[in-house]
Amino acid sequence: MTTNETAIGTKALWGQVELRQKHAVKWLTLSAMFMAMNIAVCTFSIPVPGGHLYLCDTVICIAAILLDPFGAFLVGGVGAFLGDMLFYPAPMFVSLVTHGLQALVISLIVHRSATTKNKLFWRALIATTIGGVIMVIGYTLGKIYVYSTYADAILKLPFEIAQAVLGIVGSLLLCFKGGLLSLFKKLEED
């Protein structure tokens, strides 16, 4: 990476931090909205043979693409923690760590530098893929701890992978094809 790309990346990340500092009410409102969406989608799932797929990964990835790393961590980690605490408390600490780390890493990678929309798409694809791997590994290890058996964790592995793929594809489609990224940029400018 060149010095110019590093400077652009630093400027992009500081632009997100500036949103938090200069427009604290807007940043707080957007973070709270995404956190509420994350908690809300924890209430239902898509039943598939042998398990369920949850939509929280899609919300977490969208928030991580749009928000700064701290806001993304709040939405991913704290939002998933609160959703689990309300509806299924057994894995709530696993969700806090796993989804928090997932959102933080995605946001850090996406906001490192993005000069064009095309570069931003590829950066977001790489970031959400890495975030998906973090989620799959974190939940697999967490389920070994929560359920105390390796077999149960491995049995749920295909569902974790499918949920990660659903989150990656859904977030990229909504952000880049659905217009969420453009809408968020307009909100940032106001």
Rounded CA separation 180/63 (Å): 10
Give me the pLDDT at residue 16, please. Answer: 55
Per-domain boundaries in the chain = 3-189
Give the N- to C-terminal CA distance of the chain in Å, as an integer. Answer: 32
Radius of gyration from C-alpha coordinates of the chain:
16
Q: Which CATH class is domain 3-189?
A: mainly alpha
Q: Report whether 76 contacts 103 (CB < 8 A).
A: yes
* pLDDT for position 75: 96
**How far apart, in whole angstroms, are the C-alpha atoms of residue 12 and residue 181?**
14
Dist. CA 34–CA 27, nearest whole Å:
11
Tens of pLDDT, residues 75-106: 999 999 999 999 888 889 999 999 999 999 99
Residue 190 is given by DSSP the state -
pLDDT at position 2 is 45
